[in-house]
Amino acid sequence: MSRRLHQLIGAVVGLSALVLAGCAAPTEDSNDATTTAGGAVSATQATSAEDFGGMEELVAAAEAEGKLNIIALPPDWANYGEIIDAFQATYDIVIDSAQPDASSQEEINAADQLAGTDRAPDVFDLGQSVALANTDMFAPYKVETWDTIPDVFKDPDGVWVNDYGGFMSIGYDSAKVPAITALDDLLGEGFRGMVALNGDPTQAGAAFSGVMMASIARGGSADDIAPGVAFFKELNDAGNFLPVDPTPATIESGQTPVVIDWDYLNASLAKNLPTWTVVVPENATVAGYYFQAINTDAPHPAAARLWQEFLFSDEGQNLWLKGGARPVRADAMAEAGTIDQGLFDALPVVAGDPVIPTPDQTATAAAYLAENWAMVVG
Amino acid sequence: MSRRAALTPSLALLPFFGYLTVFLLVPTITVVVGAFQEGGSFSLTNIEALFSPVALRTLRNSIVLSASTAVIGAVFGSLLTYLVVSAPPTSVFRRVVMSVAGVLAQFGGVTLAFAFIATLGFSGVITELLRSTVGVDIFGRGWLFDLPGLVLVYTYFQIPLMVIVFLPALEGLRPQWREAALSMGATNRKYWTEIAIPILTPAFLGATLLLFANAFAAYATAAALISQGNPIVPLLIRAGLISEVLLGRENFAFALAFEMIVVVALVMAAYALLVKRTSRWLQ
């Protein structure tokens, strides 16, 4: 009996050793595989292409991984569809695009829930509040074009970088409604049941900025979103507010003839609906930039870094521009002559100083919305 | 031997208990613990937040929606069931109603929401038809995308569900009872008020409660239909979990889920009391 027990214990110990070895082996292998030619830094620690020994080695390491997990990037948002295709055409890497319609917070939730698996998102594209609340999840990295990104649009250590942005705008179908020049036009008779906002401002960043834009048009400020809420209350009381989530489908089929949204999202609709017009209301320019970052637990660390290089290259930036967004390197590229001038000139005209709410202002305004938005739409 | 015989049935129940633990017990405990925490330590902040005007309003909406669709579903559903039971078991009418009810009771979520948007939405089939023929705009100010819309859409699956759950009770009503009552001089009306309805009451209340819980917990249909505001509790929970504007409200979402558990528990306790009273004379 005791001999049998010993044998059993021996077998269990041997087996667990095997299992442990089995667990450990791939990790070591993958570290070896992604350790750079320079030999000093592994892909998860690399903070620049230099750390890989140059762009060619970065490409080689990324292609060895062969996959990139992205999340919450709708193909019709800022031209992401074409960007994804272009990346896959340039490199031998397959992109797995998860939950394209998810929110920024859902990106972080997914990274938490899938941490340690090979399905976790490699890269994030986040709204300001979510990005700044989760910086400990980002791996610092500086792209090759780092120096041409204005300082206000990047973290000094490269933890996050603004990627593209735009202004809050009103898009409308000029075949269905009269021309719009100011926000208050929307309160008129001709807009009954027609004005939609891209999402719920207590949940979606774009809709939040829409209310902020209304506030500034009504004499409020980044510190005071109340006039914006009052505007939507009036809009709702006039019967003009349409509680439908606008999508390219609702816009093309005429269900949402007026949409308050980022100018690049509104602009991208014109190609299927020629009468779709985009205006940024005068004296109500609210700007917003999205935040690009790499997941510290990225299952494909080299591919994640190559994706950043691609997004901030002239090609990637021009692809965003093609989607109507303002790429963060636009000014430097215009100076260097590498920007697509035709597209750059076609962006909606903006007058007045743009307002970019700070994180504190955003938090205060969000708290106000949490208490008061339900009264607007209820 | 006898011990073994006693153990075997409980062994067979093990998978069931395992299932219960993973999908009911663990989530419930997670919700209750989460509801009383904030930032990793004990706190009543989120329970207090349940009494904020917005949260109370949302709870009221949820209860009004669930109760109204449960009552509408129960009344129309039981009338339809009565018609079904009156028809011969092999009749085409009965078979059609039963299979349609079986399908529609499970019809929910994105498909159902889309069906209503395509029919009654801004450019829905019926909206367009009425607009072009009689010049009436039934779309109005987008009522479909608010509480009234939810009442209509939920009723669509509540009535067939009532038919399915209430049918066995009505079928249990033996024709002989009625014949016996009538032959002893009772009027038809007396038969219903003094025999049929008291017998059916516990089943009717139970079915209504099921409809209430069904509507109270439904999420996907409402999520697909409503994008502006969070008029009902499940949508407010969604906001707490996914909002990119208001951060760090996961525990508030737990508190709301806890609140839903409490509401359902209260309704079930009330139901148990009611059944105890109404069925006393039956025993």
Q: Is residue B23 part of a domain?
A: no
Q: Sorting pLDDT into bands at 50, 70 and 90, what band is A29?
A: very low
**Residue A224 has what DSSP assignment?**
B
Residues A276-315 have pLDDT tens digits of: 999 998 888 999 999 999 999 999 999 999 999 999 999 9
The reported pLDDT for the residue numbered B277 is: 76
Neighbouring residues of B282: CB distance < 8 A, sequence distance ≥ 6: B198, B199
The residue segments making up the domain with residue A317 are 49-164+288-345
Residue A21 lies in a domain: no
A99 shares its domain with A159: yes
> A313 and A234, same structural domain?
no
Quote the CA–CA distance of A92 and A97 in Å, as a whole number: 16
CB A139 within 8 A of CB A123: no
Q: Which residue has the tokens 């594209």?
A: A125
- A228/A369 same-domain check: yes
Per-residue pLDDT band at A131 (split at 50, 70, 90): very high
Same domain, A172 and A276: yes
Strand duo A138-139 + B41-42: pairing:
unpaired
Residues A128 and A218 in one domain: no
Considering the domain boundaries, does residue B47 fall inside one?
no
For residue B99, being part of any structural domain is answered with: yes
**What's the whole-number mean pLDDT along residues A145-166?**
93
* Average pLDDT for B253-258: 95
Query: How does residue A13 score in pLDDT terms, banded at 50, 70 and 90?
Result: very low
A151 and A297, same domain (yes or no): yes
Residues A202 and A133 in one domain: no
Classify each residue of A63-72 as buried b or exposed e, where b means 16 or more C-beta atoms within 10 Å of its C-beta. Answer: ebbeebbbbb
Rounded mean pLDDT of A25-47? 57
CATH number at residue B128: 1.10.3720.10
- Mean pLDDT of the region A325-331: 93
Three-state SS annotation for B45-90: HHHHHCCCHHHHHHHHHHHHHHHHHHHHHHHHHHHHHHHHHHCCCC
Q: What is the pLDDT of residue B144?
A: 87
pLDDT digits (tens, 9 = 90+) for B15-35: 999 999 999 999 999 999 999
Average pLDDT value for chain B? 89
Residues A186 and A221 in one domain: yes
- Please tell me the pTM assigned to this model: 0.80
pLDDT of B63 strictly over 60: yes
On whether residue B45 sits in a domain, the answer given is no
Does pLDDT of A192 surpass 80? yes
| Residue A361 placed within a domain | yes
Higher pLDDT, A164 or B282: A164
- B230 to chain A, any CB pair closer than 8 A? The answer is yes
Question: Could B239 and A245 be called an inter-chain contact, meaning their C-beta atoms sit closer than 8 Å?
Answer: no
Residues of A in contact with B224 (CB under 8 A): none
Assess whether A305 and A294 both reside in one domain: yes
Q: With CB atoms and an 8 Å threshold, state whether A193 touches B230.
A: no
A356 shares a domain with A240: yes
Confidence class for position B280, pLDDT limits 50, 70, 90: low
* Residue B141 in contact with partner chain A when CB distance is under 8 A: yes
Looking at residue A15, its pLDDT comes to: 42
B130 in any annotated domain: yes
pLDDT at B6: 67
Q: Is residue B207 part of a domain?
A: yes
In chain A, % of residues over pLDDT 70:
89
Task: Identify all chain B residues contacting A193, using CB atoms and an 8 Å cutoff.
Answer: 122, 139-142
Q: How many CB atoms lie within 10 A of CB A175?
A: 12
| Burial call A148-165: b when 16+ CB within 10 Å, e when fewer | bbeeeebbeebbbbbbbb
Instruction: Report CB contact under 8 Å: B244, A127.
Output: yes
Of residues B101, B63, B81, B107, the one with CA closest to residue B233: B63
The residue-averaged pLDDT of A156-161 equals 95
| Together in a domain, A278 and A298 | no
pLDDT of residue A329: 95
User: Is A317 within the bounds of a domain?
Assistant: yes
Tell me, what's the pLDDT at A40? 52
The share of chain B scoring above pLDDT 70, in percent, equals 96
Confidence band (pLDDT; 50, 70, 90) for A59? very high
Which of A88-92, A245-249, A327-331 is least confident?
Answer: A245-249
A104 vs chain B: nearest CA distance in angstroms?
6
User: How far B89 CA lies from chain A's nearest CA (Å)?
Assistant: 45
In sequence order, what DSSP letters do the residues of A57-82 get, joined into one string?
A: HHHHHHHHH-EEEEES--TTSTTHHH
The answer to whether A366 contacts chain B (CB < 8 Å) is yes
What residue of B is the nearest CA neighbor of A102?
A: B242
Residue B178 covered by a domain: yes
Q: Is residue B14 part of a domain?
A: no
Number of domains, chain B:
1
> pLDDT band at A216, cuts 50/70/90?
very high
Shared-domain flag, residues A77 and A176 = no
The rounded percent of chain A whose pLDDT value lies above 90 is 63
Flag if A133 and B121 touch (Cβ within 8 Å).
Answer: no
| Two tokens, residue B119 | 């029919």
What confidence tier does A271 reach under pLDDT thresholds 50, 70, 90? confident
pLDDT at A283: 83
Rounded average pLDDT over A52-80: 94
Domain range for B101: 55-248+262-282
Q: Distance from CA of residue A301 to its chain's centroid?
A: 19
Residue-wise pLDDT for B202-233, tens only, equals 889 989 999 999 999 999 999 988 888 888 99
In a domain, A199, yes or no: yes
The whole-number pLDDT of residue A17 equals 41
Say if A78 falls within a structural domain: yes
CATH number where A69 lies: 3.40.190.10
Strand-strand pairing, A258-262 and A123-126:
unpaired
How many domains does one find in chain A? 2
CB-count exposure of residue B196 (10 Å: 0-12, 13-18, 19+): middle
What's the pLDDT at B164?
Answer: 94
